[in-house]
Amino acid sequence: MSIFVDENTKVIVQGLTGSQGKFHGLRNKAYGTKVVGGVTPGKGGTDVEGVPVYDSVQDAVAATGATASFIVVPPKFAPEAILEAAAAGISFIVCITEYIPAKDEAMVFNVLRRNYPGTRLLGPNCPGILSPGKCNIGITSGDIALAGGPVGIVSRSGTLTYQALNELSLKGVGQTTCVGIGGDPVPGTTFIDCLAAFEQDPETKAVLMFGEIGGSDEEKAAAFIKENVTKPVVSYIAGVTAPPGKKMGHAGAIVSGGMGTAQAKMDALAQAGVHVARNPTEAGEIMVDIVKGL
């Protein structure tokens, strides 16, 4: 199985007529994802290489029955695009847009929780979600994924998402679903959300979790794993050498005092029974050994 999306998920692309929306939307379609439409206000009635374009998400949903949306629009328009999708009944939204102000992210997060509890947002500033052989929404290359499971992947860093996939695929270990949750301060989907879904997925037998410095999400995930996850978890935390007080890459990757350091996260995860690796390759090697014993 997979989590959040599968081979039956119908996807629209908000921003399909833009250069990035077209590139990634058609790439997802070529992978086998059911990309059934695009949305660009004022361009309804046109198409992008055979994919129909609608003026609004509501129009697109009415015409196609889509339940997922891939948002590829500039930061100024992304919050409105997310809320438009939710209002139209979209239940799963992937937003890859970077540089959305944290206050706008917080507003969207709270409006979704209050008004649209049936809608899940992945991102923003994330690589998306990939269920190998079934569905790819976002910018992750399907070429480095291997279908069949038994490992689920969740990662904050886009680049490390790709490396996690590649490390396992090169070693012949398949994946059920790979989720890049993004590194911004207010993610729509958290480690805990993904860990809970993987725990309930019968085809996911183990989980590979890649985190990084900043915030306390990994520590919260460690507490959740200790109490709720019965499957083996392997983790790697990026940023061991990061100096305190420095933002490293992601908007959410800032260490303040003793909070959010790589070592603190590694210690919390180890105390929860997680297999903590020192680098991504070692994480893959540990997972291979675990899979052999399943």
Q: Which residues are catalytic?
A: 250
Lowest mean pLDDT among 172-186, 228-242, 262-276: 228-242
For residue range 224-235, what is the model confidence (pLDDT) as tens digits? 999 999 999 999
**Cα 31-76-68 angle, rounded to 5 deg:** 35
| pLDDT of 259 strictly over 60 | no
- Do residues 123 and 188 make contact, with C-beta atoms less than 8 angstroms apart? yes
**Band (51; pLDDT cuts 50, 70, 90):** very high
> Given this chain, do its domains 10-122 and 140-292 carry the same CATH topology?
yes
Q: Residue ranges of the domains in the chain?
A: 10-122, 140-292
Nearest CA to 178 among 238, 197, 186? Answer: 197
Q: Options 3.30.300.20, 3.40.50.261, 3.40.50.11900, 3.40.50.10190; which CATH number does 140-292 get?
A: 3.40.50.261
| pLDDT of 258 strictly over 60 | no
- Tell me the C-alpha distance between 254 and 24, whole Å: 30
Its pTM stands at 0.94
pLDDT score, position 25: 98
pLDDT score, position 246: 58
Q: Using omega within 30 degrees of 0 as the cis cutoff, is the peptide bond preceding 280 cis?
A: no
CATH no., domain 10-122: 3.40.50.720
For residue range 59-70, what is the model confidence (pLDDT) as tens digits? 999 999 999 999
DSSP run (H or E) holding 281: helix 280-292
- Do residues 83 and 95 make contact, with C-beta atoms less than 8 angstroms apart? no
**Band (239; pLDDT cuts 50, 70, 90):** confident
For residue range 121-130, what is the model confidence (pLDDT) as tens digits? 999 999 999 9
